[in-house]
Amino acid sequence: MNAKYSLVNEDLVLSEKASILVTDLAVQRGYGIFDFFKTLHGKPVFLEDHLDRFYNSVSVLRLPFKTGRAELRALLQKLMDQNQIPDSGVRITLTGGYSPDGFSVASPNMIVTQQPLVVNSELSASGIRLITHDHQRQLPQVKSLDYIMAIWLQQQIAEKNAQDVLYCPAGIVTECPRANFFIVTKDDRILTPSENILKGVIRKQLLKMKDAFEIEETGFRLEDIYNAKEAFITSTTKNVLPVVQVNDKPVGQGVPGKVSLQLRLALEQAIHEHLEKPSVQYA
């Protein structure tokens, strides 16, 4: 559930009343983008990386968004100041706007919502099971509103007693709908797909750890998962989350692996160091 206040464009409104007209291109045609960052102890985590990606999505979808970065940061701060939720998730959605003909992009509407952060520590300990599905997200470099396939697959995921789906178009491993995917090979190389994916902010943090880990962006196939020692996914809410099974086959020993745990601890350390930097704003 959303916090008491949300932003609709530049206005702080009660979340229970935050609305947009039905002529918005998000409602009419699913056209829009978003980004999502977390705050810990009242401080946004990797905010600049999220804003980089947000403005890239704006640019690729050609949304005529006039709000500059400093102004956007100030609006986010205003919302966080109002809601006072130290550990939270903040979602910035930008829609196609009130289109006069229901098809042309108009002046976008911005919606910012905040929720208390939900972390499922049980899953972190046990690891998760994935199914795979032959699907390629359209415009994969954009964090668009398009989650039709992901939501439609929820029933199949539940039927297979899994927790999420890994998209593997023509057998090539890409990503989960809301997370990046990694394997650890038998010779301790850490691999993550390089193409046709949304490049996650946590994924970027792991790729910075090349001094401590042998980690690389490269293409691989579903069979490579079955031959891997470990697998895990990364996301803003999940950090590093072990994957113990893919399509009825255990990954490695079928339990969370040692390298995944090392990376999780290294990521937690990186987040800790990030939050200590004086440039990171307090909410």
Nearer to a copy of itself, 104 or 253 (CB): 104
Least Å distance, CB 126 to a copy of itself, is 21
Least Å distance, CB 24 to a copy of itself, is 8
Nearer to a copy of itself, 63 or 190 (CB): 63
Q: Angle of helix 47-60 relative to helix 69-83, nearest 10 degrees?
A: 120
Backbone φ, ψ for residue 258 (5° rounding) = -70, -40
Name residue 172's beta-bridge partners: 221
Nearer to a copy of itself, 87 or 216 (CB): 87
Least Å distance, CB 60 to a copy of itself, is 8
Nearer to a copy of itself, 103 or 282 (CB): 103
Least Å distance, CB 210 to a copy of itself, is 34
Nearer to a copy of itself, 149 or 266 (CB): 149
Would you tell me which residues interact with a copy of itself (CB under 8 A)? 1-2, 6, 8, 15-32, 61-62, 93, 95-96, 100, 103-105, 111, 113, 135, 138-139, 144-152, 154-155
The three-state DSSP-derived secondary structure of 133-198 is ECCCCCCCCCCECCCHHHHHCHHHHHHCCCCEEEECHHHECCEECCEEEEEECCCCCEEECCCCCC
Nearest to 93 by CA among 156, 2, 4: 2
Give the other-Cβ count within 10 Å of 118's Cβ. 9
Least Å distance, CB 194 to a copy of itself, is 21
Least Å distance, CB 49 to a copy of itself, is 22
Rg for the chain, CA atoms, rounded: 19
Sign of CA dihedral 62, 197, 113, 206: negative
* Dihedral over alpha carbons 253, 255, 258, 263 (to 10 degrees): 130
How wide is the angle at C-alpha 78 spanned by C-alphas 72 and 83, nearest 5°? 130
Least Å distance, CB 19 to a copy of itself, is 4
Nearer to a copy of itself, 60 or 261 (CB): 60
Nearer to a copy of itself, 30 or 281 (CB): 30
Give the other-Cβ count within 10 Å of 214's Cβ. 14
